[in-house]
Amino acid sequence: MTGLTIRGLGKNFGAVAALAGVDLDVPARSLTAILGPSGCGKTTLLRLVAGFTTPDAGTISFGDQVVSEPRTAVPPQRRGIGYVPQEGALFPHLRVADNITFALPRSARRSRDRLAELLDLVELDSSTAERYPHELSGGQQQRVALARALAPRPSIVLLDEPFSSLDANLRLSTGRTVVQALRAAGATAILVTHDQDEALSLADQVAVMREGRLVQAGPPGTVYATPADPAVARFVGDAVLLPAVVTGGTARCALGTLALRGDSAQGEAQVLVRPEQIEILDGGAGVPATVGAVTYFGHDATVAMMLQPDGPEIVARVSGARTPHPGSRVHLTVNGPATAFPSPDGP
């Protein structure tokens, strides 16, 4: 399969810069999730890769072939792209078999071999082939849409928020099935999403966009643990951000003296702690706090607490089996290293 390379990509709509100098590498046979809030440029980037729109600046290459630049572009139908839109966009008057094989040569449609292979790939029973889209669940429809996209063996597969209309449990199971199918097919894929959990759990690489720019790209664990800035930290997960003073490899803040990841600038800073790093102790050691609101989810809970005396409010994530009572006095410690950012009030 083919990797994807984007360099200096820019696109304006009138006076609005939808994309500004985006650079991104998508390795072959991998899944990259493009993550960001609405209006950040995710869908514009996907449309440029697909060839539905031409850039004002920069290039897009599939392997060694430049498929798009400001003055010339390979048409969408010649790019070898598989595209899965938000709602699947299946033909309602065609059976599943005809939807999946729509783009195949007539001989391949008649043999049904490729159809059987694709149904197996997306974990759908062979009897599904004779049904119509309205007879399928939302998750089944998205699997059919993926099978249709994979049918011609595309070099790149683009998924535009394909799970956004599904409920939480179905979104998770369908996402896993889709990723397994993409890996089995050896496909190179881009998933556009605004769902942080979806991006972190499904992708090999997460690329975070903000206001038309790519602000960070890397493995999910790296983006979560060492975000590029406080805004990325808040966007990719719950974040406790506290003013601190960095000395050597530690930061002194309201949660005590914390070890830091990597090298950090000395002096005033902002320190990032993830809520799951904050442990509520049984004994009296640690930083004192008063428990506020407790939000219970079964498997875990979030606990809002006010650090004492007169400290800031923070949120911890704890096991659902060990939730403290609102109003109780507790003591806290932080497990694992924190991440420091230069102080927003600094030079």
pLDDT tens track for 287-307: 999 999 999 999 999 999 999
Say how far apart CA 224 and CA 235 lie, in whole Å.
10
The mean per-residue pLDDT over the stretch 264-272 comes to: 92
The mean per-residue pLDDT over the stretch 263-285 comes to: 91
Ranges of each domain in the chain: 4-230, 238-342
Specify the CATH architecture of the domain 238-342. Beta Barrel (2.40)
Q: What is the pLDDT of residues 24-72, one digit of tens each?
A: 999 999 999 999 998 999 999 999 999 999 999 999 999 999 999 888 8
* CATH number, span 4-230: 3.40.50.300
Say how far apart CA 120 and CA 123 lie, in whole Å.
5
Confidence band (pLDDT; 50, 70, 90) for 174?
A: confident
Q: What is the pLDDT of residues 142-168, one digit of tens each?
A: 899 999 999 999 989 999 988 887 887
Q: Which strands, in side-by-side order, build the sheet including 16-26?
A: 16-26, 4-13, 57-62, 65-68
Answer whether residue 345 shows pLDDT above 80: no
> How distant, in Å, are the alpha carbons of 6, 174, 185, 248 from that of 180?
25, 10, 9, 44
Res 265: pLDDT: 82
- Tell me if 279 sits within 8 A of 325, measured CB to CB: no
Q: What is the pLDDT of residues 78-121, one digit of tens each?
A: 999 999 988 778 999 999 999 999 988 888 777 788 999 999 99
Tell me the β-bridge partners of 196: none
- Establish how many alpha carbons lie within 13 A of residue 148's alpha carbon, considering only the half-sphere containing its beta carbon: 25
Percent of all residues in the chain with a pLDDT value above 90, rounded to a whole number:
76
E-strand stretches of 63-168:
65-68, 81-84, 156-160
Confidence band (pLDDT; 50, 70, 90) for 248?
A: very high
Start-to-end CA span in the chain (Å): 47
Q: Is the pTM of this model over 0.85?
A: yes
The residue with greater pLDDT, 2 or 157, is 157
Say how far apart CA 183 and CA 66 lie, in whole Å.
25
Report which secondary-structure segment, H or E, holds 199. helix 196-202
Quick check: do 4-230 and 238-342 share a fold?
A: no
- Tell me if 308 sits within 8 A of 290, measured CB to CB: yes
